[in-house]
Amino acid sequence: MITLDVAALDRSAQAIAVSEKSIVDNPRHLKLIPTDTVLRAKALPDADASFINGDVALSNNVDPARALVREHSTDNPYANLIYVRNDMLGDPRVQRLAEYLVSPQVKQFIDEHYRGFVIADQKLLP
C-alpha cells in the first residue's frame, strides 16, 4: 500500500499487525474491505485489487506476472533466516546445510516450484 502510494500506515510501536485500523491516511479514498487471507485469491475476480500472500496465490494458480507490486528480496524484513548457537558455528553439519541452501540446485528448485512468489536471495552472512 505504501509502495503504490495508496495509503499511509501507522508505524508506531503499538501497530503490531497491519489491519484496516492501521491506515492513517487514504488519499485516494479507496474502499478497503478486510478479508480472510486464504479467501483473497478466490475473491480476486470480484475485486478491483487485492493483497494476496504468495503461498495463497501459488496454491490458487494466481499469475505472479500480473501483480502490481511484489516484495523485493533486497533487505526484505520477511526473509527467511537460519540461526544457530555460537557453539555450533563450526559444526560440519551446519556448514553442509548452509552450503546446500545457497547452492544453485536450491535456487533452481525455488525458481521452478514457486514461480516468482518466492525469490531465491541466497547468501551466507558473517
pLDDT in tens, 47-100: 888 888 888 888 888 888 888 777 777 777 777 788 899 999 899 999 999 899
Residue 9 clears pLDDT 80, i.e. is over it:
no
pLDDT at residue 4, as a whole number: 65
d(CA 52, CA 58): 10
Contacts of 49 (CB under 8 A, 6+ apart): 68
* Whole-model pTM over 0.85: no
DSSP 81: -
